[in-house]
């Protein structure tokens, strides 16, 4: 307990939001592309891995693959290629000590594994989270406007029979400034007509209409499963100020007694707003996935902020990893060391006993997710 920097919390983690690893060999450009939320190459003469995440890869992942800690990025990438992506992914995933992954299968990237393939690669249990908007777009491409409106709720219900949750990216496609109420049947039909008319011209069913997005969200609420909401930080599609979760206050008030839970994902930079919502509303939870790896040396700040005001039963671990096994390895190692340092501080200053610290770490690391998603084997 005395040397906080070298101590880590060792307990099996439940990663309640992630997207899977790419098993194909990645070029350096593809690796760098997956190592940032930017959709564009770094400016000429600069390296996107000269970043907090780059430092974290060198610190935490280099030793897992058999290199010295802090090995240079180019040496790391060359070594990764020499052992092969499959072997590197296995080593990095197994270094995380994750027992269960909840996989959001809604990203359209053919390189990503399905839950069964991910379970093999990670040697862990994998359960599915169904992304509402992706399913809506798939269904729309093979129906009429009226057919879509009639069939979507039952299609989602059928698709989630084996899943443990649903996810909405309404923050990306519109924002959280939405009315609290379920849209009326007439409104939905009108919006769907317009959607299909536009799609005929553009050939794309990308859903951005707020009425249709709310229709999807309420269909998700109707499944009774936990509803994950992308919150805050993401790629350049996100209009950050509209992804502030405090804008969801009316929806949370309207849904408080429905018996469903909302999981605020990532939350950065609105971690404190999310923490307040998780304290105030009994059915709201938060995590700091994504920044658990992208903040590198500063990840501890996000973890500390997440732990400021919400009850410990409302905070979950996730990595929000996408594509790179390095995301998983960094998020887990970073969470384990930062959480240990935080708990050591609480113990040293008399705020908690060692037993308290262990219990709190286990709630956040796995137990809360097991309870909310009903994951008990």
Binding site for Zn ion (CB under 5 A): 320
* Nearest distance in Å: CB 58, Zn ion: 24
Evaluate whether 115 touches 103 at the Cβ level (below 8 Å).
yes
Contact yes or no for 304/266 (Cβ under 8 A): no
Q: How far is the CB of 17 from Zn ion (least distance, A)?
A: 6
Taking the least distance from each CB to Zn ion, the nearer of 230 and 314 is: 230
Distances (CA, A) of 359 to 11, 261, 302, 355, 362: 11, 23, 20, 6, 5
Q: What share of the chain is helix, strand, coil (3-state, %, to 5)?
A: 50, 10, 35
Q: How far apart are CA 294 and CA 289, in angstroms?
A: 9
Q: Which residue is nearest to Zn ion (CB)?
A: 320
Q: Residue 264 CB, nearest distance to Zn ion (Å)?
A: 12
Report in angstroms how near the CB of residue 228 gets to Zn ion at its nearest.
8
Q: Using the 8-state DSSP alphabet, how is residue 257 labeled?
A: T
Q: Least Å distance between CB 190 and Zn ion?
A: 31
Q: Least distance from C-beta 72 to Zn ion, angstroms?
A: 29
Residue number with CB closer to Zn ion (23 or 320): 320
Burial class (CB in 10 A: 0-12, 13-18, 19+), 74: exposed
Tally of CA atoms within 13 A in the half-sphere of 323 that contains its CB: 17
Residue 183 or 234 with smaller CB distance to Zn ion: 234
Cβ neighbours, 10 Å, residue 331: 30
User: Closer CB to Zn ion, residue 20 or residue 183?
Assistant: 20
Residue with the two structure tokens 């049947």:
185
Pairwise CA distance, residues 84 & 82, whole Å: 6
Whether 213 contacts 133, CB under 8 Å: yes
State which residue, 80 or 174, has the beta carbon closest to Zn ion: 174
Tell the smallest beta-carbon distance from residue 230 to Zn ion (Å).
Answer: 7
Cβ proximity to Zn ion: between 15 and 320 the closer is 320
Are 286 and 310 in contact by the 8 Å Cβ rule? The answer is yes
**Nearer residue to Zn ion within complex by CB, 34 or 71:** 34
CA angle at residue 245 from 241 to 247, to 5 degrees? 75
| Contact in structure between 270 and 248 (CB atoms under 8 Å) | no
The residue among 213 and 361 lying less far from Zn ion, judged by its C-beta, is 213
Q: How far is the CB of 271 from Zn ion (least distance, A)?
A: 16
Question: Nearest 5 degrees, angle CA 118-CA 306-CA 371?
Answer: 55
């Amino acid at each position: 307990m005395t040397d906080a920097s070298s101590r880590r919390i060792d307990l099996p983690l439940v990663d309640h939001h992630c997207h899977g690893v790419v098993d194909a060999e990645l070029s350096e450009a593809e690796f760098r592309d997956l190592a940032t939320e930017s959709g564009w190459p770094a400016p000429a003469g600069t390296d996107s891995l000269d970043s907090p995440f780059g430092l974290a890869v060198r610190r935490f992942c280099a030793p897992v693959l058999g290199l010295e800690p802090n090995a240079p990025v180019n040496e790391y990438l060359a070594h990764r290629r020499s052992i092969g992506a499959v072997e590197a992914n296995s080593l990095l995933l197994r270094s995380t000590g994750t027992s269960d992954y909840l996989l959001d299968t809604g990203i359209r990237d053919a390189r990503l594994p399905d839950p069964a393939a991910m379970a093999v690669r990670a040697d862990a249990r994998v359960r599915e989270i169904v992304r509402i908007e992706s399913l809506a777009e798939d269904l729309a491409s093979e129906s009429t406007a009226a057919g879509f409106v009639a069939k979507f709720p039952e299609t989602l219900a059928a698709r989630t029979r084996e899943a443990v949750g649903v996810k909405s990216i309404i923050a990306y496609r519109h924002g959280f400034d939405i009315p609290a109420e379920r849209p009326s049947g007439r409104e939905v039909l009108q919006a769907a007509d317009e959607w299909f008319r536009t799609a005929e011209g553009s050939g794309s069913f990308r859903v951005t209409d707020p009425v249709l997005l709310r229709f999807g969200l309420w269909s998700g609420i109707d499944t009774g499963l936990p509803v994950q909401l992308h919150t805050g930080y993401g790629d350049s599609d996100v209009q950050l100020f509209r992804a502030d979760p405090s804008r969801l206050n009316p929806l949370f008030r309207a849904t408080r007694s429905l018996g469903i839970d909302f999981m605020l994902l990532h939350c950065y930079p609105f971690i404190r707003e999310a923490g307040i919502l998780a304290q105030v509303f009994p059915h709201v939870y938060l995590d700091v996935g994504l920044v658990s790896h992208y903040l590198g040396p500063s990840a501890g700040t996000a973890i500390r902020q997440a732990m400021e005001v919400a009850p410990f039963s409302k905070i979950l671990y996730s990595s929000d990893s996408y594509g790179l096994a390095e995301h998983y390895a960094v998020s887990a190692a970073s969470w384990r060391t930062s959480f240990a340092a935080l708990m050591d501080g609480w113990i040293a200053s008399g705020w908690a006993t060692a037993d308290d610290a262990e219990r709190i770490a286990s709630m956040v690391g796995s137990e809360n997710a097991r309870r909310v998603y009903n994951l008990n084997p």
